[in-house]
Amino acid sequence: MKLATLRAGKDTTAAVLVSDDTAYLALPYPDVGTMVADPQWRRTADSVVSGQRSANGVSASAAELTALLPAAGKVICCGLNYSEHIQEMGRELPEYPTLFAKYADTLTGARDTIDVVGSERVDWEAELAVVVGSPLYRADEEQALQAIAGYTVANDVSMRDWQNRTLQWFQGKAFDATTPVGPVMITPDEVEGDFEVRGYVNGELVQAGNTGTLVFGPAKLLSYISQFTVLRPGDLILTGTPGGVGMGMKPPRFLQDGDLLTTEIAGIGRLENRIRLHHNDGRATYSAPVTSTATN
């Protein structure tokens, strides 16, 4: 099953992809994160699918995708996780995963424009991401595997100038609405083997990696994280990026205003995000009260 979060007027709705991936049917949840928190969500989705009428559907091409998990409680990312890339850099494989955190505000939709204010070194990081489906605390790998609700595509877009201002990466990784996630979450029963993760800039392939070469695969990561903090349904774990980021190129290459960033995992789908760079003119732009967990 493939699930998405769609815009629906001022609100959002979870939806399931049907009819050979050509149409979405709305589900009675505001988003995929809320959906997976309901232990009965599969039964609900099955009944919507089996009772489907074409009148209910939205064509996949017309559907407006928004952030898959707009209210994720935790978004935890792993760095330095592709063994091929680590070894080609001449480093030893790490004993522990390098982890850092973001917030739901960092996430955005699969087709959304990514507006970046005040960075001149915007880089890409194509990644497989894992949606947590059941609570996990001090879980072993088998329990962690069972707790995976599904897999999705993410790009951990990184403001390298901010990331490297200090030793801690957080500030370069947590710009609001800069990490696209989607277009769908695919459930584990539809997954066969490993994933091919690819990143493109203006159609040019810049990154490729196979998740079979992850040092810490999804179950290992979830188990490890759950040793110190509880994971809940709708939390999102980004598994790291393969070689080919702009910062590593000689000379380094960064995203330019107007570039199209494409992130693709065969079998799940593709993110297509236009990059817009905005100069920080130093003028404070205090916006009126922000009431949503805004992704726009």
Interacting residue ranges for a second copy, rule: CB under 8 A = 73-74, 76, 79-80, 94-103, 105-106, 117-118, 134-140, 143, 159, 162, 165-171, 174-176, 223, 225, 227-230, 232, 280, 284-291, 293-294
Tokens at residue 274, please? 């236009």
Three-class HEC string of 117-155: ECCCCEECCEEEEEEECCCECCCCHHHHHHCEEEEEEEE
Residue whose CB is less far from a second copy, 54 or 285: 285
Place of tokens 């995929």: 32
- Comparison of 48 and 101: residue with beta carbon closer to a second copy: 101
Q: Which residues contact 19 (CB under 8 A, 6 or more apart)?
A: 54, 57
Of 19, 32, 197, 208, the closest CA to residue 107 belongs to: 32
Tell me the closest approach of the beta carbon of residue 286 to a second copy, in angstroms. Answer: 5
Q: Among residues 59 and 280, whose Cβ is nearest to a second copy?
A: 280
Shortest Å distance, C-beta 222 to a second copy = 12
- Output the smallest distance, CB 24 to a second copy, in A: 29
Closest CB to a second copy among 70 and 183?
70
What are the tokens at 97?
A: 């995963």
Quote the tokens at residue 114. 């990514």
Number of helices followed by number of strands (H, E) in the chain: 7, 18
Rg (CA), the chain: 18
Q: Of the two residues 201 and 225, which places its CB atom closer to a second copy in the complex?
A: 225
Copy the structure tokens of residue 92.
Answer: 């030893």
Minimal distance in Å, beta carbon 250 to a second copy?
23
Residue 32 CB, nearest approach to a second copy (Å): 19
CA-based nearest residue to 112, from 203, 174, 176, 178? 178
- Closer to a second copy by Cβ: residue 4 or 174: 174
* Residue whose CB is less far from a second copy, 94 or 188: 94
As measured in angstroms, the least distance from the Cβ of 285 to a second copy is: 5
Bond preceding residue 94 cis, omega within 30 of 0: no
List the beta strands (DSSP E) in the chain: 2-8, 11-18, 23-26, 58-59, 75-79, 98-102, 107-108, 114-117, 122-123, 126-132, 148-155, 158-159, 179-186, 196-201, 204-210, 236-238, 260-265, 269-278
We find the least distance from the C-beta atom of residue 176 to a second copy, in angstroms, to be 5
